[in-house]
A and B are shown apart, each in its own frame.
Chain A
Amino acid sequence: MNPLSDYLLLSAFLFSIGLAGALTRRNAILVLIGIELMLNAANLNFIAFWRYGPHPEALTGVMFAIFSISVAAAEAAVGLSIILAVYRHSRTTDLDKLNSMKG
């Protein structure tokens, strides 16, 4: 086992936790948090590959992680405001109850 695979295993585990949360939880906010966790797992992969990769001086992994964090922040802001708008409309954030397309 080398140090890279430790980080990759941890990242895979984080990804599965996020996936399990996004699939099993019924609250829209928690589903969003699960998706954020999956994004974070990918970020950990980028940083680990940057650290143990052949060309760390190119900083590609770090750059990708920085851009991914900013995209995740934008996604969280828009996602949560959509949840707020939906809640205002239908008075619930439970995804099972949000089953009608009509207003």
Chain B
Amino acid sequence: MTISFLLLAAITIIGTAAAMTLKNLVHCVLALSLGLVGLAALYLQLGAQFVGFTQILVYVGAVAILAAFAIMMTRSADPTASNAAASFRASGALIAVLVFAVLAWATISGTSAQPIFTAAPEGSVGQVGAALMHRFVLPLEVIGLLLTAALIGAGILAMDEHRGTR
């Protein structure tokens, strides 16, 4: 466990935990983007340059901004008094803790016996591109179709039908 891993993990955990607990929704989105930048740095540390930069581009540049726009347009920036009943919150948190316990138990008991391949892999962007164009070309096309469908669908859903289509 290196210092850089601990630092980045701390940033990620603080950011995401703040995103899930803060009262003000805009603060949540900003904290989320901090956490996701930390996650992208973790990807870079693992040697996945392409995924790391894509993560920043997609999540900080698009998803966080989109969420901020949605918050502005639904006027939910002000902290609302209505929260879940205490019992509901407690049970939700309990479920999350239980899930973490199960996953952590599986991780600790499952991986320590396995051999570890520590040789740093060659994950250059050129190889990623070649793989996308040869072995993974069908998934790539399907993703293209999905994104186009999502673009059109999101546009139609968000359109205000009462005011005509402009």
By a beta-carbon cutoff of 8 Å, the part of chain A in contact with chain B is 1-10, 12-21, 23-27, 29-30, 32-34, 36-37, 40, 43-44, 47-48, 50-54, 56-57, 59, 62-63, 65-67, 69-78, 80-85, 87-88, 93-94, 96-97
Q: Which of B19, B80, B88 contacts A94 (CB 8 A)?
A: B80
Cβ contact within 8 Å between A5 and B107: yes
Chain A, residue nearest B84 (CB): A26
Please report the total number of B residues contacting A with Cβ < 8 Å.
84
CB of B5 to closest CB in A, whole Å: 6
Chain B, residue nearest A6 (CB): B1
Cβ contact within 8 Å between A62 and B63: no
Q: B108 an interface residue at 8 Å Cβ cutoff?
A: yes
Q: B7 an interface residue at 8 Å Cβ cutoff?
A: no
Chain A hits for B117, CB < 8 A: 52-54, 56
Residues A5 and B108 in contact in the complex (CB < 8 Å), given A30-B25, A65-B48 = yes
CB of A23 to closest CB in B, whole Å: 3
Cβ contact within 8 Å between A21 and B19: yes
Residues A23 and B116 in contact in the complex (CB < 8 Å), given A33-B19, A62-B128 = no
Chain B, residue nearest A85 (CB): B157
Q: Which of A14, A20, A72 contacts B92 (CB 8 A)?
A: A20
Cβ contact within 8 Å between A33 and B67: yes
Tell me the complex Cα distance, A15–B95, Å.
12
Chain A hits for B51, CB < 8 A: 43, 47, 62, 65-66, 69
